[in-house]
Each structure stands twice: as structure tokens, then as C-alpha cells.
Amino acid sequence: MAEANSGFAGKYHLRMALTFLNAFVFGTPEVFVGLAHTKFDASSLELKDEPTRKAVSEQLAAFAKFVARIKA
């Protein structure tokens, strides 16, 4: 189980360090896809899980707003 959470912990600590350095950090919303192997089509690799698709879509929309804010 430690392996499943190691990416999260690493990302969290990296974000803390970058925030300390006053870097532009996109923090939320975050998308963590558990059991990812069950949410993609095996042959096409298309994301089939609708709740995950929605979460990714919301994250990308928020990221676009973040980029626009940084560019301004």
C-alpha cells in the first residue's frame, strides 16, 4: 500500500517546497485515479470511466483558468 501513496506524498512535498520558493503552483483540483487499469479500454487505451472523465475535464478547465491568470 505504501507504493500506492508514494506518488501522492512526493507531489505534496514538492508542492510545499515550490510554494516556499514563491513558484506558481497549480494545486486544486487534483485528480488521483485509483485502479486506473480498470478505467481504460485495454485495446484503445481510451478512458472509459465517466466519473474519472468528468474529474479530468474539470481539472483541465481549472488548469486553463490558472494559465490565463498567470499570463495576465
Q: What percent of the chain has pLDDT over 70?
A: 92
- Say how far residue 24 (Cα) sits from the centre of its chain: 16
Q: Please state whether the predicted TM-score (pTM) of the whole model is above 0.85.
A: no
Q: Give the separation between CA 72 and CA 57, rounded to whole angstroms.
A: 23
Q: For 42-65, what is the mean pLDDT? A: 94
Contact indicator for 55, 31 with CB cutoff of 8 Å = yes
Evaluated on CA atoms 9, 15, 16, 18, the torsion sign reads positive
**Residue 15 pLDDT grade (very low, low, confident, very high; cuts 50, 70, 90):** confident
